[in-house]
Amino acid sequence: RCVAPVSAAVSRVAGPVPEDPAIVSFPVHRPRRLRRSPAVRRLVAQTRLHPADLVLPVFVREGIAEPVPISSMPGVVQHTLDSLVAEAERAVAAGLGGLMVFGVPEAKDGRGSGADDPGGILNVALTRLAEAVGDRIVVMADLCLDEFTDHGHCGVLDHSGAVDNDATLERYAAMALAQAAAGAEVLGLSGMMDGQVGHVRAALDAAGFTDTLILAYAAKYTSGLYGPFREAVQSSLVGDRATYQQDPTNATEAIREIELDVAEGADIIMVKPGQPHLDIIAAAAEISPVPVAAYQISGEYSQIVAAADNGWIDRERVATESLIHLRRAGAQIILSYFALELAERW
């Protein structure tokens, strides 16, 4: 981060106070000079967006012949394998840094069998992408069970119906090996189980996948803003994820989660959702020895799109602002459904 604390900035600009009353009646300091023209504003801009810092989340659905629009996320679709590869080529041409791939399987079950099946839709898609574009863009895989379980939770359930942390770790390890074998370069651990980073790292290393990166959704908060995503992956979740995702009332706990994930071997840590948690992104950027990412989630996207579609706000302008805010708070990498459309205009 390149922003000095405000107190330091103030002490630097406070110069001698002129004594002549004729002078003091007008401002001595004129910060507006730095805003006077587009060229000056561009010169002094402290925060810039670059396509290489952006990651586009994409959905691939099993058993469809044409892309299927997601009604709660206008402009976003569930891809076929072929349309996914075409979208990936567009992302490469626009210079995006990465793709985060989510799979939507035809059949779901209690243990999320499709997740670690090499023939499962996500793993097949990862192989297609790795072959088509893997040398030109970072292919990332969502590593979580919720798209694959019939109950919609991010883990397997115990006999009482609660999410079983340690049994879930075994499923994540199997999923990690399948995704790494399929060709994913980065695994996005988004399930918020305790110990998931260490467990998956150990499994990857034991199988020889020592070069596979882990992007840890370290501080992932429970939120109503995930709503549109649940439609995107046709989730059957009843209830919420409050026993594993963080409570929005807490900040300190995010630091603990980040420190644990870094200690367990995370290569990149992420804060999610983005704009509601700018304080957490700033804190993460302050303490993290590894790159910090932020995820502008489905509901953040859809709020902007809905207002823009009503003519109430300007889509491109507000989308750009929203990413600037994440970047200024300290996010080096940004996941956003706007990534491709914005990068194609820059």
Binding region for ligand PBG (CB under 6 A): 142, 144, 146-147, 154, 190, 226, 229, 241, 297-298
Are the C-beta atoms of 94 and 343 separated by less than 8 Å? yes
CB atoms near residue 93 (< 10 Å) = 13
Q: Token digits for 293?
A: 């990412």
- Cβ-based nearer residue to ligand PBG, 209 or 229: 229
Question: Closest distance between ligand PBG and the C-beta of residue 104, in Å?
Answer: 11
Whole-number Å distance between alpha carbons of 57 and 281:
20
The residue among 11 and 109 lying less far from ligand PBG, judged by its C-beta, is: 109
Of the residues 128, 272, 277, 327, which is catalytic?
Answer: 272
Q: Which is nearer to ligand PBG, 146 or 261 (CB)?
A: 146
Which contiguous run of DSSP H or E holds residue 99?
strand 98-104
Considering the complex, what minimum distance in angstroms separates the CB of residue 232 from ligand PBG?
A: 7
Alpha-carbon torsion, ordered 239, 245, 251, 252, to 10 deg: 130
Residue with tokens 């996914």: 84
Q: Is 272 a catalytic residue?
A: yes
CB 317, min distance to ligand PBG, A: 21
Instruction: Let me know if 108 is a catalytic residue.
Output: no
Phi and psi dihedrals of 139, rounded to 5? -90, 120
Q: Using DSSP, state whether 213 is helix, strand or coil.
A: strand
Q: For ligand PBG, give the closer residue by CB, 122 or 204.
A: 122
61, 79, 151, 220: the active-site residue = 220
- Answer for the pair 346, 51: CB distance below 8 angstroms, yes or no: yes
Contacts of 107 by beta carbon, 8 Å cutoff, 6+ apart: 114
Number of Cβ within 10 Å of residue 276's Cβ equals 16
Sole residue written with tokens 């919720």: 146
**What is the rounded distance in angstroms from the CA atom of residue 167 to the CA atom of residue 148?**
16
How many CA atoms lie less than 13 Å away from 309 in the CB half-sphere?
10
* Minimum distance from residue 38 beta carbon to ligand PBG (Å): 33
Cβ at position 143, least distance to ligand PBG in Å: 8
Nearer to ligand PBG, 70 or 262 (CB): 70
Angstrom distance (rounded) from CA 246 to CA 309? 32
CA distance 112 to 147: 8
Q: Please identify, using beta-carbon distances, which residue of 225 and 285 lies nearer to ligand PBG.
A: 225
Between 164 and 300, name the residue whose CB sits nearer to ligand PBG.
300
Nearest distance in Å: CB 211, ligand PBG:
23
**DSSP secondary structure letters along 135-198:** TTSEEEEEE-STTTBSS--SS-B-TTS-B-HHHHHHHHHHHHHHHHHHT-SEEEE-S--TTHHH
Considering the complex, what minimum distance in angstroms separates the CB of residue 335 from ligand PBG? Answer: 8
Please give the structure tokens belonging to residue 31: 């910060």
Active-site positions read 220, 272
